[in-house]
Amino acid sequence: MTFSSLKNYGTMESTAVNNDSSNNIGPGKGFLNLLKRIWYHLLVLFIGGKWSLIETFTRHRKLQDDETHQRVRAETAVITGGARGIGAEVVRQCLQLNMHVIIGCRKPSAGETLIQKLRDEGVSSGTAEALPLDLNSLNSVRDFAQCILNKNVPVHYLLNNAGVMFHPFQLTTDGIEAQFQTNYLSHFLLTNLLLPALNQGGQSDKPSRVINVSSAAQYGGQLDFNNIDMKHEHSPHMAYMSSKLMQVISTVDLNRRFQEKKMNVRIYALHPGVVRTDLYEHVCWVNFFGRLLNVMFKTPEQGADGIMFVAVSQNVSADGGTFYANCTQQAVNPLAFNRDVQDRLYNISTDLCQLNSSETTASKSCSENITLELNK
């Protein structure tokens, strides 16, 4: 299989709805399901290996000083999963740009520890705070968003960074498959809930930016709208690839909705690179080949470089709805441009999140005095 054909691998499946909700929940049984899981495993290895080789022999790009917008006032960045890994390096770079950073993490004490560590290392600019956020709970996402909205401050950057990879089958407190909710659905909800603050932070000539940290794995994703979170016949590898594909589809879709409502918000997605972080805690062979893979894997700092480029560079597409890797715009899975796919995913997502009309782009306009009332 060539790389070009692999980039078009993503498909949309439609299977019969299983009326027995308890049947086939979790890993599927039987020889055919075993073959599927093996194929999905090999597919994600191929994609990851291909991109890792590309990154090994391609010059690493990062944000240059002359690429940033001139800042006439302090800016606010909200980041999920900012207490460790790539997120911690993003927090560092945001502080160095004199931003106020709001870190969302399960344990605020971990965020506070990071802030103190950065101060001890000499990062004296900017300000930061940590707030509780558990992406495995939609109620926690709502509480986190409400805490930010209660501050009545504009948000200039929303960095949807947190994620899990190849997580063994697990349901969240909302009864949803963990990778689907953590990587995609909770960030979809958070983006919609923070739209008032994001719109307030944007200007017509400098919109606020939402950054979805996706992955090159989106090229191998597929959608089954009758099993959207792959709760049935679960494969951790396909669940990961599909969640990353949904991030990209939503990036294109929400960006279009923002523009139609003339909102001062743009949304982007990116592949941060194949980065050695604890994201690989469920991948045993990474530890086995540790030193060898260190040569091919990017560092968390290098992964953060790509995120910061898309967040603040003047050299990204002003129109939004685009996908980047190594600070360069890339093609996306063709499903991302299918309007029927976009609409179906959007409708399913709003239903799962129980978003009402005042919490979605449908009722937002930059000419309105936007307020948000959360229905608990």
Q: What is the full DSSP assignment across 302-340?
A: HHHHHHHHHHHBTTS-TT---EEETTEEE---GGGG-HH
The pairing of strands 323-325 and 222-224 is unpaired
> From the centroid of its chain, how far is CA 87?
12
What's residue 226's pLDDT?
Answer: 92
- Residue spans of the domains in the chain: they are 29-67+75-363
**Active-site residue identified among 40, 219, 240, 324:** 240
pTM: 0.85
Owner of token pair 């504009």: 154
pLDDT along the chain (376 residues), means of 10: 37 42 66 83 84 78 68 83 94 96 97 98 97 98 98 98 91 96 98 98 95 93 92 90 97 97 97 69 53 68 94 93 95 95 98 84 39 29
What's residue 361's pLDDT?
Answer: 58
User: At the top level of CATH, which class does the domain 29-67+75-363 belong to?
Assistant: alpha beta
Core vs surface per residue 49-61: b (16+ CB within 10 A) or e: ebbbeebeeeeee
Strands (DSSP E) found in 181-260: 208-213, 222-224
- Bridge partner residues of 128 (DSSP): 101
Task: Tokens for 367, please give them.
Answer: 């000419």
What's residue 360's pLDDT?
Answer: 67
For 106, list phi and psi in degrees, rounded to 5: -60, -45
Residues 6+ apart with CB under 8 A from 110: 83, 84, 130
Residues 6+ apart with CB under 8 A from 119: none
Task: Tokens for 128, please give them.
Answer: 């930061």
The answer to whether 229 and 174 have CB atoms below 8 angstroms apart is no
What's residue 51's pLDDT?
Answer: 75
Distance CA 189, CA 182 (A): 11
What's residue 331's pLDDT?
Answer: 94
Whether residue 157 lies in the annotated active site: no
For 335, list phi and psi in degrees, rounded to 5: -60, -25
Core vs surface per residue 110-141: b (16+ CB within 10 A) or e: bbbebbeebeeeebeebebebbebbbbbbebb
Distance CA 274, CA 270 (A): 12
- Which letter does DSSP use for residue 249 in this model? H
> Element (H or E) spanning 294, and its range?
helix 290-296
Q: What angle do CA 57, 62, 64 make, to 5 degrees?
A: 140
The answer to whether 174 and 181 have CB atoms below 8 angstroms apart is yes
For 150, list phi and psi in degrees, rounded to 5: -65, -20
Of 322, 330, 335, nearest to 55 by C-alpha is: 330
Residues 6+ apart with CB under 8 A from 211: 157, 158, 159, 160, 161, 267, 268, 269, 270, 307, 310, 311
Edge-to-edge order in the sheet of strand 76-80 = 127-132, 100-105, 76-80, 157-160, 208-213, 265-271, 323-325, 328-330
